[in-house]
């Protein structure tokens, strides 16, 4: 296959990562990500929580509530009840503690209570109230709340659909270091959704998220590097990011890595590795007729070695695609592209 053909294939890969897929809001986080209520005073309750000493954490948090009305201790009690740590799970009590702490301005409690309202834990489902609480948590500087509220503005069911507001919230979370927000905001800039289209900014954000280990960002940043989209072309750099994502079982990255090994673009040509990664990607659900044809025509010894290297990996997978052994004739398989 010519270098020009590979570029075409990799350009098509931009559509292979579902940039529009939106994760669900995560479970409530413990209060413990915030500093102690009194500057300089050690947070013994949280220290015990981190060590897994939940009974001691519960006792210390209770003492701090009784003696100091400490909102962070209230939030920690809510977390212990929510997770059933040291005490029996009791969502109602958890919600009550979160509510007390939120009323005192604790951002972690405000976020946790928002998640409870959205999920219907500790009371009836109340998504509008959950969205309102997310807005309050955003004002208090909660990063995940900004990301989740942006998703709600994209969804447009319980808050008004507003791409510009979603982009603004994603920017807050991205600037605070959230790789999920950096990835989402990059797709906004790539597509011109809620912001002015800017491929350079998209590539910058993808790079930030990729360097933090965000897998989808590694794939899209590798594509940008290979094609020189919004950033200087760097095929060897692209190969490195494809390899990182492939090793985390991303089938799109595995497929692109197979192409690079088959052509020697950005990485030393290795037919055995090309066969290996193609078969692994295929087991993960990525069909590729041209690569099937290439592997079918490969030196039988190299193909057998590639199959042998792929088999242990595939055995550990929950294969989503057709069984790749033996390699079927090329005319029986058609390439498929995942639309965003």
Closest CA to 147 of 185, 117, 173: 173
Per-residue DSSP letter, 15: G
Average pLDDT over residues 5-29: 34
CA dihedral 203, 209, 214, 220 (to 10 degrees): 0
Q: Are 60 and 67 in contact (CB under 8 A)?
A: no
**What pLDDT is stored for residue 174 in this prediction?**
98
Q: Are 9 and 16 in contact (CB under 8 A)?
A: no
Q: How far apart are CA 193 and CA 188, in angstroms?
A: 5
Average pLDDT over residues 187-215: 97
High-pLDDT (> 70) share of the chain, %: 81
**pLDDT: which is higher, 11 or 240:** 240
**331: pLDDT strictly greater than 90:** no
**What pLDDT is stored for residue 108 in this prediction?**
97
Closest CA to 223 of 1, 3, 11: 11
Average pLDDT over residues 18-34: 36
**What pLDDT is stored for residue 317 in this prediction?**
80
Digit-coded pLDDT (tens) for 68-106: 999 999 999 999 999 999 999 999 999 999 999 999 999
**128: pLDDT strictly greater than 60:** yes
**What pLDDT is stored for residue 263 in this prediction?**
94
Quote the mean pLDDT of the chain.
85
**What pLDDT is stored for residue 181 in this prediction?**
97
Range scoring the smallest mean pLDDT among 187-191, 246-250, 311-315: 311-315
Q: How far apart are CA 126 and CA 137, in angstroms?
A: 16
pLDDT band of 148, cuts 50, 70, 90 = very high
The tokens of 135 are what? 């807005």
**What pLDDT is stored for residue 10 in this prediction?**
33
Q: Are 287 and 321 in contact (CB under 8 A)?
A: yes
- Please determine, looking at this structure, whether the domain spanning 31-210 carries the CATH number 2.20.130.10: no
**240: pLDDT strictly greater than 50:** yes
**What pLDDT is stored for residue 95 in this prediction?**
98
**241: pLDDT strictly greater than 80:** yes
**Would you say how long the chain is, in residues?**
340
**What pLDDT is stored for residue 42 in this prediction?**
80
Range scoring the smallest mean pLDDT among 14-23, 189-198, 303-312: 14-23
Digit-coded pLDDT (tens) for 51-76: 999 999 999 999 999 999 999 999 99
**What pLDDT is stored for residue 320 in this prediction?**
52
**330: pLDDT strictly greater than 80:** no
Q: Are 144 and 173 in contact (CB under 8 A)?
A: yes
């Amino acid at each position: 296959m010519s270098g020009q053909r590979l570029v075409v294939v990799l350009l098509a890969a931009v559509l292979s990562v579902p940039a529009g897929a939106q994760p669900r809001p995560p479970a409530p986080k413990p209060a413990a990500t915030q500093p102690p209520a009194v500057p300089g005073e050690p947070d013994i309750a949280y220290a015990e929580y981190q060590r897994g000493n939940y009974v001691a954490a519960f006792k210390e948090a209770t003492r701090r509530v009784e003696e100091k009305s400490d909102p962070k201790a209230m939030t920690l009690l809510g977390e212990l009840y929510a997770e059933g740590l040291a005490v029996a799970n009791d969502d109602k009590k958890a919600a009550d503690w979160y509510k007390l702490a939120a009323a005192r301005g604790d951002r972690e409690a405000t976020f946790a209570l928002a998640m409870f309202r959205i999920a219907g834990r500790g009371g009836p489902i109340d998504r509008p109230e959950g969205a309102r609480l997310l807005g309050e948590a955003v004002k208090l500087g909660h990063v995940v709340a900004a990301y989740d509220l942006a998703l709600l503005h994209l969804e447009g069911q319980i808050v008004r659909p507003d791409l510009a507001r979603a982009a603004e919230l994603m920017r807050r979370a991205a600037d605070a270091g959230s790789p999920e927000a950096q990835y989402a905001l990059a797709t906004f800039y790539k597509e011109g959704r809620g912001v002015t289209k800017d491929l350079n900014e998209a590539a910058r954000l993808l790079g930030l998220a990729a360097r933090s280990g965000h897998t989808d960002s590694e794939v899209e940043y590798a594509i940008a590097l290979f094609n020189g989209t919004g950033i200087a072309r760097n095929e060897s750099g692209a190969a490195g990011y494809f390899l990182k994502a492939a090793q985390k079982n991303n089938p799109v990255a595995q497929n692109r890595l197979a192409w690079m090994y088959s052509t020697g673009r950005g990485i030393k040509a290795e037919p055995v590795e090309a066969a290996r990664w193609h078969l692994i990607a295929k087991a993960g659900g990525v069909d590729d007729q041209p690569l099937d044809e290439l592997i079918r025509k490969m030196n039988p010894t190299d193909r057998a070695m590639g199959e042998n290297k792929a088999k242990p990996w595939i055995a550990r997978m929950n294969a989503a695609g057709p069984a790749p052994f033996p390699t079927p004739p090329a005319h029986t398989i058609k390439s498929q592209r995942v639309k965003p």
